[in-house]
Amino acid sequence: MTKYDVLQQYYGYHSFREGQEVLIDHILEGKDALGIMPTGAGKSVCYQVPALLLPGITLVISPLISLMKDQVQSLNQAGVHAAYINSSLTENQIAKALTLAGQGQYKIIYVAPERLETERFLHFAKSVEISMVAVDEAHCISQWGQDFRPSYLNIVQFVKKLPKRPILSAFTATATGEVKEDIICVLGLENPKTLVTGFDRQNLFFAVEHVKSRTRYLQHYVADREKESGIIYCATRKNVEKVYETLCSEGIAVTKYHAGLSSEERQRNQDDFIYDRKPVIVATNAFGMGIDKSNVRYVLHYNMPQSMENYYQEAGRAGRDGEASDCILLYSAQDIMINRFLLENKEVNPNFTEEECMTIRERDEQRLQTMNFYCNTKECLRAYILRYFGEKNKGACGKCGNCQKHYVEKDMTNEAKQIIRCLGDLHERYGINVVVGTLLGGKSAKLREYRVERYPSYAALHKLREQEIKDLIGQMIQDGYLKQTKDKYALLQTTGKAQDIMDDLCTVTVKMEPKSSQIAKEDDRIKGTGKRRSDILNTRGLEFFDILRGLRTHIAREESLPPYLVFSDKTLVDMCVRLPMNRTEMMEVNGMGAYKFEKYGERFLECILENTGGIREKFYFGEMEEILGRKR
Ligand code: ADP
Ligand code: ZN
């Protein structure tokens, strides 16, 4: 068998994605590998395909029980013998699994890092051939990351104890340089092939909405997508409860998840979501790690997250199947306060020194600022994200929320000069609020105490609105004319470049929303989101998609599986477009592996024949070639 046969037979895919092949080839040559790819890029394929081709067993180290279960179910669904060993099994079940594994029943075994320390497991591992140890969520090994797991350090000891060093491969979605270095160094990867794939997720639509009522926006948005699956993230438990109640009262099939619920209730709610019994979930960021649900069509952030890393990871849970999905952030200025409060009360590792704690706090604050700028930028959101993750020279994407808004450019060089003068007047000793207050000619007690009315810049920009001045300052920070200090008070200061503005060597322009568009705003935006499946399927096609979805739900109930483990949305859409009428045609469908066909193929063929009478109607817009080409 070749790697292509494996991909076709077990996964039903016709080609590898960017990066997958490079890593797989490298591993098959017996070398270590490190894959840094965003959520949904297809990391599992990178270690599972070689695992099926290498002579011995592959151990996959994974931090979460739910993640292991999902992956193993998904492999079994594809006809691969795989198992997991973790604390959710009884001692008897573990013994049985290890016996079967010893007999060579499983090519792939998922284990929790804690398990590696146990005598019994080590004994087993020494008695069989381990071809590879694949470390999933490898950033958990880094002390700097937000998800440090001390038990990940066991991996190194464990590997050393094996009679023959296996191939080591590691995978993560966290791209920062420190974390990458940590993984290579701590895990002891030897000259690893390191692959960082593009962080771009073409099928995701990004938007930030500054709306008057977030609740109203949410109600409309969710009601508009009745049968679709979505996650709504909130910063606090209280908000989760509030949003949950609102949606419930609207009659939406919704559930909730946060650390305040009992573990039984969390498990039950999570299952309701995964099995599509309740397609919408309102949750804190405690939810999501280890959720592989591929048909999440939108991720809405009711509150701003604490960092771009968090945001991209959470938003990235949309559209894992490659279908068009929305990532929308509802902005409110007070969110930055909530987050600052949460960060200040965050638990820190008690082993850290005072200095290390300071460093972490500073980083947190900086990350929060970057997140805030994302919410307020008028530039392309996709380009902003990609630049943050280290991809240079990204132009505007033309299809995110900001690219679709038609801003007008306004020259604000004179106003920028006033800001710089004001900073001079204030000796750069204050934060943004005092600066803005001074420029507006404010009369608050604090401003009076600082006696700012004595400065020439006092009230110099009284004709602007507060937000306009803040936007301009934000723009000047992004352009590198101003900076904020990293201490608690975040003083606003000029950089060396600011003099260029005063010397008329450059201009400052700001994008503004045209006045007329502000009136239609609220309603427009609710509809004006990204591409939807309805872009491809016409009305009849959507009806047919619902029929197929019904059959999928039916089968999933019979087998007690989450529906997306029967077939992904993408596979169903592909069926609607191709309308396969026989086995050969069915095997062409994206995601239709040989084993899956044996299990479900006939039933779907029957359903298609019954509903179309064998007549191939056109269920989509545009040309078939173009659609199939685009979706690969
Ligand atoms: P990650 O672990 O990187 O978040 P997954 O491994 O869960 O991503 O893959 C995300 C989705 O992409 C899955 O539904 C997977 O089956 C699909 N996928 C992976 N590789 C391919 C491929 N070569 N062609 C089509 N779909 C793929
Ligand atoms: Zn864009």
Q: Ligand 1 atom 9: the closest Cα is on which residue?
A: 42
Phi, psi of 387 (to 5 degrees): -65, -40
Centre of ligand 1 from the C-alpha of residue 182, in Å: 26
Centre of ligand 1 from the C-alpha of residue 39, in Å: 9
Exposure string of 558-569, with b = 16+ CB inside 10 Å and e = fewer, is eeebbbbbbbbb
Q: Ligand 1 atom 18: the closest Cα is on which residue?
A: 42
Q: Which atom of ligand 1 is nearest to the CA of 16?
A: 23
CB 39, CB 317: distance < 8 Å = yes
Instruction: Note the pLDDT of residue 199.
Output: 83
Evaluate if residue 631 carries a pLDDT over 90.
Answer: no
- For the chain, give the mean pLDDT: 89
Question: At 520, is the pLDDT very low, low, confident or very high (cuts 50, 70, 90)?
Answer: very low
By most ligand atoms within 8 Å of CB, the mutation choice from 39, 45, 203 for ligand 1 is: 45
Q: What is residue 298's DSSP assignment?
A: E
User: How would you classify the pairing of strands 82-85 and 108-111?
Assistant: parallel
Q: What is the mean pLDDT of residues 63-89?
A: 91
Q: Which atom of ligand 1 is nearest to the CA of 294?
A: 14
By three-state DSSP, how is residue 378 classified? coil
d(CA 6, CA 506): 58
Query: Distances from the Cα of 449 to the Cαs of 152, 432, 445, in angstroms?
Result: 54, 17, 6
Instruction: Note the pLDDT of residue 462.
Output: 93
**Could you give the percent of the chain with pLDDT greater than 70?**
94
Evaluate if residue 216 carries a pLDDT over 60.
Answer: yes
**Could you give the percent of the chain with pLDDT greater than 90?**
63
By most ligand atoms within 8 Å of CB, the mutation choice from 204, 320, 631 for ligand 1 is: 320
CB 162, CB 126: distance < 8 Å = yes
Instruction: Note the pLDDT of residue 528.
Output: 42
Residue with tokens 């894959």: 35
Centre of ligand 2 from the C-alpha of residue 327, in Å: 13
Q: Which ligand is nearest to the CA of 395?
A: 2
Instruction: Note the pLDDT of residue 527.
Output: 43
- Indicate the Cα dihedral angle 310, 403, 215, 436, nearest 10°: 80
By most ligand atoms within 8 Å of CB, the mutation choice from 4, 6, 14, 17 for ligand 1 is: 17
Evaluate if residue 534 carries a pLDDT over 70.
Answer: no
pLDDT for 3-42, tens place per residue?
A: 999 999 999 999 998 789 999 999 999 999 999 988 778 8
Q: Ligand 1 atom 25: the closest Cα is on which residue?
A: 13
pLDDT for 339-359, tens place per residue?
A: 888 888 877 777 778 887 877
Query: Distances from the Cα of 422 to the Cαs of 85, 411, 451, 498, 554, in angstroms?
Result: 64, 19, 13, 13, 67
Residue 376 corresponds to which tokens in the numbers above? Answer: 């307020």
Q: Which ligand is nearest to the CA of 11?
A: 1
Cβ–ligand 1 distance for 252 under 6 Å, the answer: no
Evaluate if residue 195 carries a pLDDT over 80.
Answer: yes
By three-state DSSP, how is residue 199 classified? coil
Evaluate if residue 63 carries a pLDDT over 90.
Answer: no
Return the sign of the alpha-carbon dihedral for residues 12, 15, 21, 25. Answer: positive
